[in-house]
């Protein structure tokens, strides 16, 4: 039987305790939540339920874990509370997809036990059966995760579980833990096979020491310390959920650089938009040590790192292992939430969603190299009939696009503005009932902003309303944006994904309008394409 318990911690204590899995909260589902769940007449159609982002049918979810592709299926594991709508009883939930778009939720893969909660980690396919858990004909899927000791003990270590039936059932390794440094904050292992050295590499966070540790292993069981990475100028919040991968530069598969991504728990400073978020370094990895290459930093970089996302709701992102070589993409997904208000989102019977999957590359940008994120092409299968607006002139005005049939709660849009003499151009989305979410480009400052102060229900937490701003140079005299709007989120990709802003919103269901605007002069909407999107449910 799982051990049930309740934690009562200050915010700082909770962050130090919880790490990438986040702060603690009530671990029992309230009677009101249970009632709301049982009375739901239309599962997956509740108020604010995302229609093309993954959410569990019910209960709390946070970090994506163990993303791996195997036998034609994309596996999405995630931090999950099987017993309630707030953080607690951390286990690995599990969903699968054949197309990165439609998801089938399966049974809990790795439940907590009386000794450990199951914190964040990764999964791999052990093709050479180095672990001995399977055979070469039936290689095991191996999950590598942090075991968090149940109270009153403290401490975190790295453990294994394996599956021989495509992730449907799991066996915890009898000799766990496989790596224990007797530390209280030692978590979130990302493991991958390093072909040049023919061994496994583990990247793991020493969270309150602001360090990333690298280990190697021949068999996933026996680990040897290699090196540390630290960057004092980037100690803006507790370090968590690292990932490390090589990306092609400007699409050239023969020219690659390594990216070390690190997430920040909410700290004194936190991420660029406040609270939790992610940053990354571009550099080299020689099989033992990662070295950041500051010569690759673009002009807009404010430190030795760059920001993953300029919104408040993209955290703990992790990339898929074992994507087929013929595909060749590096694809990841992040948790759309922020630890400042994560447990207060006004949703039931579920809480939290994952982002849309995004494909990653490195591109020459603004005098350096920037990691670009593009929505995966598979999302295009959700498009309904296209709506189009072209050569629309705006002079100090806001125009509704209702006459062009552009409206809705779930939309994909691409838009290209020619700013002309205007100081500002942009869009208002999910408008209605005195509500709007504003995407604004400031020509003089060359910044892109998302303003959700009037986006609907915003007063459930004081840190939720706000304006989130990203530097975005004007390229070729045009402003080009790619937007995904769901029932409770907006994701904006600018300059071919070099700039991303991801934010939750909670508008009235009836707020479905879209407007374009220009301020301070005359601008042109050269081309706007919009597609209402089908539900994945």
Which residues are designated catalytic? 63
> Side-chain half-sphere of 302: how many Cα atoms within 13 Å?
8
> Side-chain half-sphere of 326: how many Cα atoms within 13 Å?
0
Cα-Cα-Cα-Cα torsion 55, 113, 116, 153, nearest 10 degrees, comes to 130
Cα-Cα-Cα-Cα torsion 102, 491, 15, 112, nearest 10 degrees, comes to 0
d(CA 236, CA 239): 8
Ramachandran bin of 463, using left for φ above 0, alpha for ψ from -120 to 50, beta for the remaining angles: alpha
d(CA 81, CA 27): 8
Among candidates 354, 357, 308, 359, which has minimal Cα distance to 335? 354
Phi, psi (deg, nearest 5) at residue 232: -55, -35
CA–CA distance from 107 to each of 77, 82, 124, 216, 387 (Å)?
A: 11, 10, 20, 32, 40
d(CA 331, CA 215): 24
User: Which residues fall within 8 angstroms of residue 350, CB to CB, at 6 or more apart?
Assistant: 46, 49, 55, 56, 57, 58, 59, 60, 61, 85
d(CA 75, CA 66): 7
Tally Cβ neighbours within 10 Å of residue 309: 28
d(CA 488, CA 537): 16
What counts of helices (H) and strands (E) characterise the chain?
Answer: 2, 34
d(CA 503, CA 142): 33
Question: Furthest-apart CA pair in the chain: how many Å?
Answer: 70
Tokens describing residue 450: 């998302």
Partners of 247 in beta bridges: 257
The SS3 assignment for 85 reads coil
Among candidates 126, 240, 130, which has minimal Cα distance to 188? 240
Q: Residues 64, 334: contact at Cβ < 8 Å?
A: yes
């Amino acid at each position: 039987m799982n051990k049930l318990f309740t934690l009562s911690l200050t915010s700082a204590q909770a962050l130090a305790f919880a790490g990438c899995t986040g702060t603690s909260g009530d671990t029992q589902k309230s009677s009101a939540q249970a009632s709301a769940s049982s009375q739901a007449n239309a599962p997956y159609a509740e108020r604010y339920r995302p229609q093309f982002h993954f959410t569990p049918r019910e209960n709390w979810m946070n970090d994506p874990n163990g993303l791996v592709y195997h036998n034609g299926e994309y596996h999405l594991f995630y931090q999950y509370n099987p017993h309630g709508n707030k953080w607690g009883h951390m286990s690995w939930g599990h969903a699968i997809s054949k197309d990165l778009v439609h998801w089938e939720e399966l049974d809990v893969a790795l439940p907590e036990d009386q000794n450990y909660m199951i914190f964040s980690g990764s999964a791999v396919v052990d093709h050479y059966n180095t672990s001995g858990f399977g055979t070469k004909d039936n290689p095991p899927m191996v999950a590598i995760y942090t075991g968090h000791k149940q109270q009153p003990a403290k401490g975190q270590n790295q453990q294994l579980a394996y599956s021989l039936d495509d992730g449907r059932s799991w066996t915890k390794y009898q000799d766990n833990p496989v790596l224990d440094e007797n530390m209280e904050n030692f978590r979130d292992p990302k493991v991958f096979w390093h072909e040049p050295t023919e061994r496994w590499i583990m990247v793991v966070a020493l969270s309150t020491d602001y360090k990333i540790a690298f280990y190697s292993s021949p068999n996933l069981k026996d680990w040897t310390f290699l090196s540390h990475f630290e960057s004092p100028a980037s100690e803006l919040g507790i370090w968590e959920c690292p990932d490390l991968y090589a990306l092609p530069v400007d699409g050239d598969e023969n020219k690659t650089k390594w990216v070390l991504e690190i997430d920040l728990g909410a700290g004194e400073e936190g991420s660029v938009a406040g609270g939790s978020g992610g940053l990354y370094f571009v550099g080299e990895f020689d099989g033992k040590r990662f070295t950041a290459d500051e010569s690759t930093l673009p002009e807009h970089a404010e430190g030795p790192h760059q920001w993953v996302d300029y919104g408040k709701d993209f955290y703990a992102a992790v990339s898929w292992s074992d994507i087929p070589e013929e595909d060749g993409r590096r694809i990841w997904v992040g948790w759309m939430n922020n630890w400042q208000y994560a447990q207060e989102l006004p949703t039931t019977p579920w809480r939290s969603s994952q982002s849309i999957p995004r494909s990653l590359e490195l591109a020459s940008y603004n005098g350096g190299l920037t990691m670009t994120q593009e929505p995966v092409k598979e999302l295009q299968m959700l498009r309904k009939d296209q709506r189009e607006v072209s050569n629309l002139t705006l002079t100090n005005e806001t125009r509704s696009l209702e006459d062009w049939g552009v409206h809705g709660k779930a939309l994909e849009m691409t838009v290209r503005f020619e700013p002309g003499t205007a100081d500002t151009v942009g869009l208002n989305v999910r408008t209605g009932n005195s509500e709007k979410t504003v995407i604004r480009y400031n020509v003089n400052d060359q910044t892109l902003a998302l303003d959700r102060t009037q986006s609907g229900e915003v007063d459930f937490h004081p840190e939720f309303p706000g304006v989130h701003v990203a530097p975005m140079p004007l390229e070729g005299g045009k402003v080009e944006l790619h937007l995904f709007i769901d029932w409770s989120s907006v994701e904006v990709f600018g300059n071919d994904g070099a700039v991303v802003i991801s934010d939750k919103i909670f508008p009235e269901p009836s707020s479905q309008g879209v407007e374009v605007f220009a301020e301070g002069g005359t601008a042109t909407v050269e081309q706007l394409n919009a597609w209402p999107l089908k539900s994945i449910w």
